Structure 1
Amino acid sequence: MTVLRIVANIPAGSVRRVQDFYATLFDLELVMDHGWIVTLACSETAAAQISIASGGGSGTAVPDLSIEVDDVDAVHRRAIAMGCDITYPLTDEPWGVRRFYVADPEGKIVNVLGHLR
């Protein structure tokens, strides 16, 4: 058996508002739209992963979603420009990632990270 895809499902009172947040912040493209559910994706192939955690590291809560990007500083600047709620500041963590937490319009906490080089 091979896992072909893992999809994060985010409940939203306003699908369009949450869609706009993720599409704008992460440059994601709309690949499916049924009105009540939309799917956003990037053109790159991503590994399917599930993380199970008792904490978020550095004393933080476990985030609802983690998104790895190639330029975390650029996404952080974009989040600031969008007026997003940054719930954990941009930080270089001792385990080798640079990350910040941002709340989406529904209050879901997103861990935005990149590996330190």
Structure 2
Amino acid sequence: MTVDAIMPNLHASDLDAARRFYVGELGMAEQPMGHDWVTRFVDPSTGAAVQVQIRDATAPEDSAATVKVDDVDALYAAMRAAGYEIVHPLVTEAWGVRRFFVRSPGGAVLNIAQRHG
């Protein structure tokens, strides 16, 4: 299992205000995700990115970061076997991501995800 990327998930109450800040002030490009509750901003020259969300539409709790992996099923099994708290079970979301949420030892909730299909 390999971690491909880690991206912070920041809370915002207004995505339009977030767009003005990240695009207008920081010069990042928006990569819309097709949802009205989350979007991604990326620096075109470096690839540095952040996701901004109002709330997670299908999980019981928002996550602090998304950890993209190459084998989400194996990691889910390993996390369960190790006794970590699974906050949101392993599911394949309608938008093509297979994911689960786990609480890290420091208490942060991580969205562990893999592109599916």
* Partner in structure 1 of residue 61 of structure 2: 61
- Looking at structure 1, the residues matched to 68 and 88 of structure 2 have their Cα atoms a distance apart, in angstroms, of 16
- Looking at structure 2, the residues matched to 86 and 115 of structure 1 have their Cα atoms a distance apart, in angstroms, of 20
- Looking at structure 2, the residues matched to 59 and 111 of structure 1 have their Cα atoms a distance apart, in angstroms, of 10
Deviation at 1:49, TM superposition (A): 1.4
- Looking at structure 2, the residues matched to 115 and 69 of structure 1 have their Cα atoms a distance apart, in angstroms, of 9
Q: What secondary structure, in the 3-state scheme, does the structure 1 residue paired with 2:51 have? A: coil
- Looking at structure 2, the residues matched to 73 and 81 of structure 1 have their Cα atoms a distance apart, in angstroms, of 12
Q: What do you get for the CA RMSD once the two structures are aligned?
A: 2.0
* Partner in structure 1 of residue 116 of structure 2: 116
TM-score by length of structure 1 reads 0.57
- Looking at structure 2, the residues matched to 83 and 93 of structure 1 have their Cα atoms a distance apart, in angstroms, of 24
* Partner in structure 2 of residue 33 of structure 1: none
Q: What secondary structure, in the 3-state scheme, does the structure 1 residue paired with 2:107 have? A: coil
Consecutive unaligned residues in structure 2, runs of 5 or more? 1-5, 9-46
* Partner in structure 2 of residue 101 of structure 1: 101
Consecutive unaligned residues in structure 1, runs of 5 or more? 1-5, 9-46
Runs of 4+ in 1 over 4 A off after TM superposition: none
Contact 1:87 1:102 in 2 (8 A): yes
* Partner in structure 2 of residue 29 of structure 1: none
Deviation at 1:60, TM superposition (A): 3.4
Q: What secondary structure, in the 3-state scheme, does the structure 1 residue paired with 2:77 have? A: helix
What is the one-letter code of the residue matched to 2:55? G
Contact 1:54 1:62 in 2 (8 A): no
Taking only the aligned residue pairs, the percentage that are identical comes to 32
Provide Cα deviations, 1:65-104, integer angstroms capped at 9, x if missing partner.
Answer: 1101011001101101111100000011011100000000
- Looking at structure 1, the residues matched to 59 and 83 of structure 2 have their Cα atoms a distance apart, in angstroms, of 25
* Partner in structure 1 of residue 84 of structure 2: 84
